[in-house]
């Protein structure tokens, strides 16, 4: 198997009278099994499907343990191309809208020609708003240091805007006149 796409359902658990917390206990065993059994894997998509209920706080995916687990998975596999689909609200929160362009990539000014790149080149992960010219493969590494090869791909994976999951019930009220 060289390509794999999986969906992880995001859900929150509530203990006693505390605020609900993001529960991704199932994520690490799944990633560990992929590392153990999928030696030929080259392309991978991990989609977080958001639970759309009153406890939906999809942005916790960005701030909690989920992305460090995914980062460690990426580093253990060094895939040719990888993307992580985030619930729309988490995707919006991840984007600082600061465009970064590499001199050897065609600049893209339109929003639909850019995507978020989780860059793992430095000591700390960063998110870059990059041109999709090389998608699904990695964009070229940024920032460039003096004398560094400017044709080397960056380490990391693409963020894509995914599905929020089933929407809650809503009502339409109209006022007659």
Q: Residue 138 domain-assigned? A: yes
Split into its structural domains, the chain has a count of 1
pLDDT tens digits, 95-111: 776 777 777 777 777 77
For the chain, what percent of residues have pLDDT higher than 90?
37
Per the structure block, which two tokens stand in for 77? 């596999």
pLDDT at 100: 75
Assigned domain for 91 exists: yes
Confidence of residue 175 (pLDDT cuts 50, 70, 90): low
Q: Is residue 173 part of a domain?
A: no
Which parts of 10-144 are beta strand (E)?
11-13, 21-23, 43-49, 81-86, 114-119, 126-131
Percent of the chain with pLDDT over 70: 86
- The answer as to whether 171 is a domain residue is no
Rounded mean pLDDT, 59-87? 89
pLDDT tens-digit profile of 131-163?
888 888 899 898 777 777 888 889 999 999 886
Q: Is the pTM of this model over 0.85?
A: no
State the pLDDT confidence band at 176, using cuts at 50, 70 and 90.
low
Q: What is the span of the domain harbouring residue 78?
A: 3-161
Residue 122 phi/psi, 5° resolution? -95, -170
Tally the C-alpha atoms within 13 A of residue 32's C-alpha that lie toward its C-beta: 5
Model pLDDT, residue 165? 56
| pLDDT score recorded for residue 169 | 47
Residue 87 lies in a domain: yes
The pLDDT score that the predictor gives to residue 80 is 82
Average pLDDT, the chain: 82
Q: Is the pLDDT of residue 82 over 90?
A: yes
SS3 content of the chain, % helix, strand, coil (to 5): 20, 25, 55
Residue 157: the pLDDT is: 96
* 64 falls within a domain: yes
Pull the structure tokens for residue 59: 């942005």
136 inside domain: yes
The Cα 113–Cα 111 span in angstroms is 5
Task: Let me know if residue 175 belongs to a domain.
Answer: no
């Amino acid at each position: 198997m060289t390509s794999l796409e999986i969906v992880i359902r995001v859900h929150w658990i509530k203990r006693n009278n505390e605020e609900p917390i993001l529960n991704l206990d199932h994520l690490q065993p799944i990633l560990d099994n992929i590392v153990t059994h999928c030696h030929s894997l080259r392309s991978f998509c991990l989609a977080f499907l958001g639970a759309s209920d009153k406890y939906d706080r999809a942005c916790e995916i960005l701030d909690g343990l989920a992305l460090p687990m995914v980062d460690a998975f990426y580093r253990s596999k060094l895939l040719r191309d990888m993307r992580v689909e985030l619930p729309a609200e988490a995707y919006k929160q991840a984007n600082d809208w600061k465009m970064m362009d590499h001199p050897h990539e065609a600049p893209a000014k339109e929003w639909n020609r850019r995507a978020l790149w989780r860059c793992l080149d430095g000591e700390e992960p960063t998110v870059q708003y990059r041109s999709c010219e090389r998608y699904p493969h990695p964009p070229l590494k940024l920032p460039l240091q003096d004398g560094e090869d400017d044709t080397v791909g960056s380490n990391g994976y693409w963020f894509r805007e995914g599905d929020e999951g089933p929407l809650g019930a809503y009502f339409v009220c109209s006022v007659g006149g």
